[in-house]
Structure 1
Amino acid sequence: MSHASDKTASDSPPERELDDLSRDLLSRIPTGIFLSGEFVPGASGRELEVLNPATGQALARVASAEERDAVAAMDAAAAAQGPWAATSPRERSEILRRAFELMTTTYSDDLALLMTLEMGKPLAQSRAEVAYGAEFMRWFAEEAVRVRGDYFRVPEGHLQATVLRRPVGPCLLITPWNFPLAMATRKAGPAFAAGCTAILKPARDTPLTALLFARIMSEAGLPDGVLSVLPTQDSRGVGSALMADPRLRKLSFTGSTEVGKALLRQAADNVLRTSMELGGNAPFIVFDDADIPAAVSAAVATKMRNMGQACNAADHVFVQEGVYEEFVAALTRELGALRLGSGLEEGVDVGPLISARQRDDVAGLVDRALAGGARALIGGRIPEGPGFFYPPTVLVDVAPDAEIMTQEIFGPVAPVAPFRTEGEVVDWVNADAVGLSAYLHTRDAGRAMRLAERLEVGMLGVNSATISNAGAPFGGVKHSGMGREGGKEGIGEYLESVYVATPVPPQP
């Protein structure tokens, strides 16, 4: 596949803040729409600007897709669907395996640096995302050759039932900005493994990683048309055009609950298969019998991953009264020691938030909490200077039903509230409309299993800071969405079951 005509990010003037390595990388990243194996300008010629959140300045200009590009992508996906579904599971598996190897060797450093440039997370966290995101390609390379059907006789005995599993067909994959590689691989990996074609619509703020992902898939041998990538500043128009097309069979979306609900209403018109990974607002619960140093370390890790901009980040902290003061003091000390700055700088722990709007949303939540009587032990104020930074913040004297305790923060802010009994904290958590994940710290194994059954969440981390893994099902309950990504369940979201009945011949 030729890429000689690719427009690259070097077409934008280099910024003084970027080092030579960053400028060299941007000069090699395609910024056209990816259609039928080529990077091309959009039909309208319009472009969107990609900002460096550490400076607020432009990194690149990227082609912005419109409805005509969506139709072209759908044409390509529909044309490629039959041949791609007919490829052997082993061939699909080997393409995914090659993509995994490219991500973890040839393109590992490029992917990490690019995510830090366009999203802001520290380089160490970007490298961790490369490893995590690539793992979905390896996992689903293995799952591609393990799809099974079924064969049985119906209870009445007169029919033999064969159940086939086949790809659902062309898919629309809508990914967020906070994990621009991992959210693409977590959706595209199982789609390709199952034999589905896909149209990837990355977040407006982070299209460069998705375009580099397209190049990697092309180099791995993915046939033309199986993947299209449509960066756009007209998400509603492009998405609506695709979802109105009767050839589309599946929608997978990760993002806010509000947008997810709107997409579900649209999906109803064509009765699309849907997977929704929506809002989080995860509680972090610490009991009196917990290992407090370990709980504090876990709270820092899960609160500050991606500057708190993760759907499964610990949004608010509940600590049992007996250890409340000890925990708050240690948490404040640990968060106060973290270094705020550009993710490109050595030793930085906390990068910028993705945009001025996101920073201002976080600041507004904190300001309203302070006005309502909360106290900031550290942080709580936007720092001076360029970029979209917000400091690590610990809030106390916060009521359990305060806005900042019931809304997803998506920032480096830890409101902490005390609780008395197990039943009390369970009631607080289950009153929330969302239920993606929760974290629990206790030495009581019985309590851990009891709460696993009582807490209305899809994932529970016990004495742990991390839960995400390619081999495990990721997803929530209630307004946090439907369906699961990763694990053996992940590929099932892209397969449909076909029941074939044949008469049982009479015995001779």
Structure 2
Amino acid sequence: MTSNTYTPPASEGQKASFAIPTDLLIGENWVGASSGARIDILNPSTGETLTSVADCDAAEGIAAVDAAAAAASAWAATPPRRRAEVLLACYHAMMERQEWLARLISLENGKALGDARGEVAYAAEFFRWYAEEAVRINGELSLSPSGANRILVSYQPIGIALLITPWNFPAAMATRKIAPALAAGCTVILKPAEETPLTALAVAQILRDAGVPAGVVNVINTSDPGPVCSAILHDPRVRKLSFTGSTEVGRILLREAADSVISASMELGGNAPFLVLDDADLDEAIEGAMVAKMRNAGEACTAANRFYVQRGIQDRFVAKLVERMGAMKVGPGIDATTQCGAMINRASIDKIERLVADAVSRGAEVRLGGAAIAGDGFFYPPSVIANVQPGSEILSTEVFGPVAAIVPFDDVDEAVALANATEYGLAAYVYSGDLKKALQLAERIECGMVAVNRGLVSDAAAPFGGVKQSGLGREGSHHGLIEYCEAKYIAVSW
């Protein structure tokens, strides 16, 4: 066992909850990498190094599988009520540390403190929701149509699960996978993004303190995820993969999972359209746009990427959006007055600049921002790009930043065609004063989630996921629990 830890700086009058272990959680122990290798963790707001975490190899990935396998039988046999009690304890433990966790997220991720507080509440809610669902994994009993036998169906834990999470929501993406897996009776190996592992490590320690048995949750970090994840996915004891990240990486992981026919849940890239019709309440549409676009500074797979605004309302919409986004304060996430924090790294800034430059070269007009902020850290200001032309890369590529690309349209059929002109289908937003029209639009848009006259779609109690190349399966709701179960049919006569 090692003693490498990181203690985040405390705010005035606040003490840190605990020193965060920065090694690998394998079974009951925090252990360093056998090679001694470490990964430096940067603060995106300053570019400075916060600390480092252990950097594992494939052999340590298999050691985590060993630990998960050793704990699997006992956890699967744990009564649902007991699993529920442990999950509820995890919820309360996270909420008791909400401010502390929010500050940690802001430090390693760069997001505004207000967004980070919201993330912690959202992340904790998965433990509360699945504490309630753990005792409701109901089976089925029916009579065969022939009358020859009864059909008895029960749901059993699918087995050891590899969970791979992204950097943009380091707490919520971890708990959205851990909670249903534990509720179903599975043990897990969590591999957080190498940019933001500290939050996952803190959550893992909270789970241990809340009563999660050793080996049920294991956490590994690696700077070379390909060989490590491949080794884990080719271990026959591993039966589930849950991944949130880019479609490109998702395709690679699906190929790896195919070798062992592993059940895979994929929450992949997005390219969310935001449709505003002439009859929409303009003020409500602007409020929704601010949430859908600027939550987490646009670094969200559900973020509005393409704004399609009907021509009769376009000029007023653009003017109001410029006013609202232009008033946002940009700065370090840890500053309580910041509304738009740092991007995760320099590569993100470069991507945004490339997309904006391409749009402008094709005739788009920069109405706000449009250039990175010089100085320490990785900052890009809230930006509005109007009259974006067809063929612009920003309409086909997830910008993952605080840039609103606006395209006018004339009729509803045109808007639907534009919204569906993408290989992605995760989330969409529709604003209209006519609910019937809005719901008809929602039915026609090819995506897994549609927010009608609201800018927020995520909810622990709702099925989260996409269609087309935005993913497979669902997270959250009862659907997310069944992803970690196998249905067993027993034919019986009496």
Same fold judged by TM-score > 0.5?
Answer: yes
2:442 matched to 1:456?
no
2:398 matched to 1:401?
no
Q: 1:181 aligns with which of 171, 192, 195?
A: 171
CA offsets 1:356-391 (integer angstroms, 9 cap, x no match): 111111111111211222121111111111001001
* SS of equivalent to 2:150: strand
Q: 1:88 aligns with which of 76, 79, 90?
A: 79
CA distance in 1, matches of 2:68, 2:381: 44
Q: 1:300 aligns with which of 285, 290, 295?
A: 290
Show the counterpart of 2:70.
79
Conserved 8 A contact 1:9-1:26: no
2:39 maps to a residue whose letter is: L
Show the counterpart of 2:53.
62
TM-superposed CA distance for 1:21, in Å, is 6.3
Show the counterpart of 1:498.
488
2:217 matched to 1:217?
no
* SS of equivalent to 1:39: strand
TM-superposed CA distance for 1:22, in Å, is 12
CA distance in 1, matches of 2:398, 2:14: 35
CA distance in 1, matches of 2:439, 2:368: 35
Alignment of structure 1 residues 127-276 onto 2, 5 Å: 127-276=117-266
Deviates more, 1:369-378 or 1:312-321: 369-378
CA offsets 1:418-472 (integer angstroms, 9 cap, x no match): 0001000101111211000000000111111211211101000001011101011
2:93 matched to 1:102?
yes
Q: 2:109 aligns with which of 116, 119, 127?
A: 119
Tell me: CA distance 1:318–1:153, structure 2 relative to 1, closer, same or farther (3 Å). Answer: same
Conserved 8 A contact 1:188-1:198: yes
Conserved 8 A contact 1:400-1:428: no
Show the counterpart of 1:280.
270
CA distance in 1, matches of 2:324, 2:234: 50
CA distance in 2, matches of 1:280, 1:374: 22
Show the counterpart of 1:426.
416
CA offsets 1:60-105 (integer angstroms, 9 cap, x no match): 0110111111010000111111111000000100000000000011
Show the counterpart of 2:6.
9
TM-superposed CA distance for 1:20, in Å, is 6.5
Q: 1:358 aligns with which of 348, 368, 375?
A: 348
* SS of equivalent to 1:274: strand
CA distance in 2, matches of 1:206, 1:217: 18
Conserved 8 A contact 2:276-2:432: yes
Show the counterpart of 1:39.
30
Deviates more, 1:336-345 or 1:192-201: 336-345
CA distance in 2, matches of 1:84, 1:27: 27
1:176 maps to a residue whose letter is: P
1:52 maps to a residue whose letter is: N
Alignment of structure 1 residues 309-328 onto 2, 5 Å: 309-328=299-318
Show the counterpart of 2:21.
30
Show the counterpart of 2:473.
483
2:74 maps to a residue whose letter is: P
Deviates more, 1:22-31 or 1:429-438: 22-31
CA distance in 2, matches of 1:281, 1:22: 42
CA distance in 1, matches of 2:389, 2:13: 45
Show the counterpart of 2:433.
443
CA distance in 2, matches of 1:493, 1:448: 31
Where structure 1 has 5 or more consecutive residues not aligned to the other structure, the ranges are none
CA offsets 1:378-414 (integer angstroms, 9 cap, x no match): 1111111100100111001211432111111100000
* SS of equivalent to 1:290: coil
1:253 maps to a residue whose letter is: F
Tell me: CA distance 1:20–1:300, structure 2 relative to 1, closer, same or farther (3 Å). Answer: closer
**Normalization by structure 1: what TM-score?**
0.95
CA distance in 1, matches of 2:152, 2:10: 60
Conserved 8 A contact 2:358-2:392: no
After TM superposition, the runs of 4+ consecutive aligned structure 1 residues lying more than 2 A away are 18-27
CA distance in 2, matches of 1:89, 1:391: 48
TM-superposed CA distance for 1:349, in Å, is 0.6
Show the counterpart of 1:343.
333
TM-superposed CA distance for 1:27, in Å, is 7.8
Counting aligned pairs with the same residue, the percent is 48
1:101 maps to a residue whose letter is: H
CA distance in 2, matches of 1:83, 1:297: 49
TM-superposed CA distance for 1:346, in Å, is 2.9
TM-superposed CA distance for 1:238, in Å, is 1.1
CA offsets 1:135-161 (integer angstroms, 9 cap, x no match): 000000000000011111111111111
TM-superposed CA distance for 1:347, in Å, is 1.5
CA distance in 2, matches of 1:195, 1:463: 38
**Normalization by structure 2: what TM-score?**
0.98
Q: 1:413 aligns with which of 385, 389, 403?
A: 403
1:497 maps to a residue whose letter is: A
TM-superposed CA distance for 1:294, in Å, is 1.1
2:3 maps to a residue whose letter is: D
